[in-house]
Structure 1
Amino acid sequence: MSGDLRIGSLCSGYGGLDMGVQRVLGGSVAWHSDIDPGAQRILAHHWPDTPNIGDLTAVDWAAVEPIDLLTGGYPCQPFSTAGRRRGTTDDRHIWPYIAHALGVLRPRFALFENVGGHLSLGFDTVLADLARLGWDAEWVCVRASDVGAAHQRRRLFILAWPAADADGDVRAGRDHARAVARPAGQDACAARGFERHGVAARSGGAAAADAHGDGGERARTHVAGRPQPADHGQPATDPEGQRREQGEPEPARQQGGSDSRVGGVPDWGAYSAAVAAWESLTRPAPRPTDDRGRLSPAFVEWLMGLPEHHVTGVPDLSRAAQLHALGNGVVPQQAAHALRLLLDRAAPALPPG
């Protein structure tokens, strides 16, 4: 993949997913799309010359600069086991608009990220929409700890690309014209059987599309499965006090007493080895708490594998906004590892070039 790869980034956050892509494929971000005020500040600070095209639900995608790769970390709250799991009925469910964008832009690849809980809620809708667009997909769950991070943070990564027929010609999809004319429907069919990885939309894309009408049991027979590692992590409480899968890192939650505050030596306790391992791959760990005993954004920034001050050095970004951005972000090293796995698995089916 050449260095002139052009990336379009939806729900960009602090840019972690794109940073992971660039570690593997190089390239540059042509445009961002994020409406969160904190994310907008971070993106403008680090990529001042990259336009933010704003609300993806209102963009005229036919007028947007063409790209080679579309990335997106769409909101996880509809699918997180820590929330109410309203799935496709949640107002924050914006996948239909992303599918619409994908159908209009028609890039060479797409890479999406969400919580692992998405596999059991709403994932059938994603696969069905990709199939209707004529796209194949591979997916995998990777934990941040798989790349040495001091926390688990299990995430689902999905690589998609235009499918080809037996002669190598890219298919447009059976319902391509209808699918790109408006956002795809928000079906709420249960997604049983998707606790596996695999190519989703082979044989004309019918497999995933059948999940809408017949449920996950029928779709499961079409999935080339691979077992997933067990995830023994438990949801934690984030700085805002809500339970969520990507919550406050365990080392920080376990700190206590005066030695965990500014001026003392942190006692990492049972997490000493994990902290030391991540330090060897990144940089020395900042103090986990501030002088008031509160979780330090600089520490979370380190846990997320980011360069120092990537979030905490952005002007006029409050502590709450920093923690919000970090809590919703992607570990770049984790994203890079997932992308390498997916590219390796999908290699035989990927289009040339």
Structure 2
Amino acid sequence: MPAYYNEIDPYAAQWLRNLITAGHIAPGDVDERSIEDVRPDDLRGYTQCHFFAGLGGWSRSLRVAGWPDDRPVWTGSCPCQPFSVAGKGLGFNDPRHLWPAWYWLIKERRPAILFGEQVAAATDWLGLVRHNLEALGYAVGAMPIEAASAGAEHFRDRCWFMAHDAQQRAGARRLQRGRQQRGTSGNSQDPAGSISHCYDTERRPDHSSRNVDVWTPPGWVESSSDAPERGARDVVDDPGFGWGEGWTEHEFRSRGFAAAVAGIDGCQYVECPDGKWRRLPPPRVRWLGNGIPARVAKLRAIGNAIDPRPAAEFIRAALEVI
């Protein structure tokens, strides 16, 4: 049974298709609709469902952690812009706060296991997520992990969480005990590894309000979330999108930059105008250049993606518990 990928950005969606074709992530279908337009029945038949899929980081992380493609799971990385320090700080009032839409699908389909992440500073958001999932009977665990602690060359401080349906887990144990008592093994699908436990309904939440049957934290303001229409466009692997080999310090200086550069553990870092030190671009990723907009889409897709290394470590830890 294939995987389902939901990604609204056409550039990232095509990147997902390329990765599927190359065999780097689980085979499946890419849906470019907004998650607010996805209905529960649209997800029937899919073993894995990845929402806000980006570049398929969750699928890749699951594989790295030893989670097979045919083992059911849901994943999602809700947009971080409403809660990121680099955003506008609108929080729950931001129309990109899409947890209510994902929560509705979770409530209707009841996946046995799901993983997610958010910027570490979004503690109120995590409290909302935990409250909603525990109310549905899920056991929820979360912890912050910096990407640098998993071998990455950047901090990317994120809070990772997992939810396990306690009812389905208990049901699986009862089923297993029953089989043992009867002395039969059977070939029935284990309900703890299934996403088929769902409700037959076409009812959809009213997205004119951000409150989709969820707890409302302090400062909540209801707002409209009608998304503008997005036209599809072809995206190809083209030199114009900024493929390159990265810069050395010599190349950095040859372009007229005079900022301080320091070598740390074999990597080159440059002091930026905001006082922070950032690593010179890694191989195959070039920095933005004034008047060169073709690279924006690629770097934006990379910037919105999760780092598979800390995700894989978190999944390994969850597997030990499961």
* TM-score normalised by length of structure 1: 0.52
Higher strand share: 2
Following TM superposition, by how much is the alpha carbon of 1:288 offset from its aligned partner in structure 2, in angstroms?
3.5
* Distance in 2 of aligned mates of 1:274 and 1:75: 33
Give yes or no for contact 1:122–1:188 (8 Å, CA) kept in 2.
no
Partner of 1:342: 318
Residue 60 of structure 1: which of 39, 42, 60 is its match?
39
* C-alpha RMSD over aligned residues: 3.9
The residue type equivalent to 2:313 in the other structure is: H
* Distance in 2 of aligned mates of 1:142 and 1:93: 22
* Distance in 2 of aligned mates of 1:180 and 1:99: 15
Q: Residues 245-280 of structure 1: CA distance to partner in whole angstroms, max 9, x if unpaired?
A: xxxxxxx9xx9975425799xx9954521639xxxx
The 5 Å alignment of 1:85-124 reads 85-119=89-123, 121-124=124-127
Following TM superposition, by how much is the alpha carbon of 1:35 offset from its aligned partner in structure 2, in angstroms?
0.8
Q: 1:271 to 1:104 in 2, by over 3 A?
A: farther
Give yes or no for contact 2:7–2:13 (8 Å, CA) kept in 1.
yes
The residue type equivalent to 1:129 in the other structure is: N
Residue 138 of structure 2: which of 104, 122, 135 is its match?
135
Residue 29 of structure 2: which of 51, 72, 90 is its match?
51
Query: SS at 2:75's partner residue?
Result: strand
Larger radius of gyration: 2
5+ residue gaps, structure 1, are 1-5, 7-28, 192-211, 213-251, 277-286, 290-294, 301-316
Query: SS at 2:267's partner residue?
Result: helix
Give yes or no for contact 2:118–2:160 (8 Å, CA) kept in 1.
yes
The residue type equivalent to 1:135 in the other structure is: Y
5+ residue gaps, structure 2, are 22-26, 48-71, 175-190, 193-197, 206-211, 221-245, 269-278, 288-292
Following TM superposition, by how much is the alpha carbon of 1:105 offset from its aligned partner in structure 2, in angstroms?
2.5
Q: Residues 197-229 of structure 1: CA distance to partner in whole angstroms, max 9, x if unpaired?
A: xxxxxxxxxxxxxxx9xxxxxxxxxxxxxxxxx
Give yes or no for contact 2:4–2:46 (8 Å, CA) kept in 1.
no
The residue type equivalent to 2:18 in the other structure is: H
Partner of 1:163: 166
Q: 1:152 to 1:268 in 2, by over 3 A?
A: farther
* Distance in 1 of aligned mates of 2:267 and 2:10: 31
* Distance in 2 of aligned mates of 1:262 and 1:341: 46
Query: SS at 2:129's partner residue?
Result: helix
Give yes or no for contact 1:136–1:163 (8 Å, CA) kept in 2.
yes
1:260 aligns with 2:252: yes
Partner of 2:152: 149
* Distance in 1 of aligned mates of 2:38 and 2:164: 22
Partner of 2:213: 185
Residue 320 of structure 1: which of 296, 304, 310 is its match?
296
Sequence identity, in percent?
26
* Distance in 2 of aligned mates of 1:180 and 1:143: 40
Paired positions, count: 219
Residue 11 of structure 2: which of 38, 43, 47 is its match?
38
Give yes or no for contact 1:114–1:155 (8 Å, CA) kept in 2.
yes
* Distance in 2 of aligned mates of 1:96 and 1:117: 19
* Distance in 2 of aligned mates of 1:156 and 1:104: 25
Q: 1:188 to 1:296 in 2, by over 3 A?
A: farther
Query: SS at 1:51's partner residue?
Result: strand
Extract structure 1 runs of 4+ deviating beyond 6 A: none
Query: SS at 1:137's partner residue?
Result: strand
Following TM superposition, by how much is the alpha carbon of 1:343 offset from its aligned partner in structure 2, in angstroms?
3.5
* Distance in 1 of aligned mates of 2:204 and 2:92: 16
* Distance in 1 of aligned mates of 2:114 and 2:103: 11
Following TM superposition, by how much is the alpha carbon of 1:188 offset from its aligned partner in structure 2, in angstroms?
4.0
Give yes or no for contact 1:75–1:94 (8 Å, CA) kept in 2.
yes
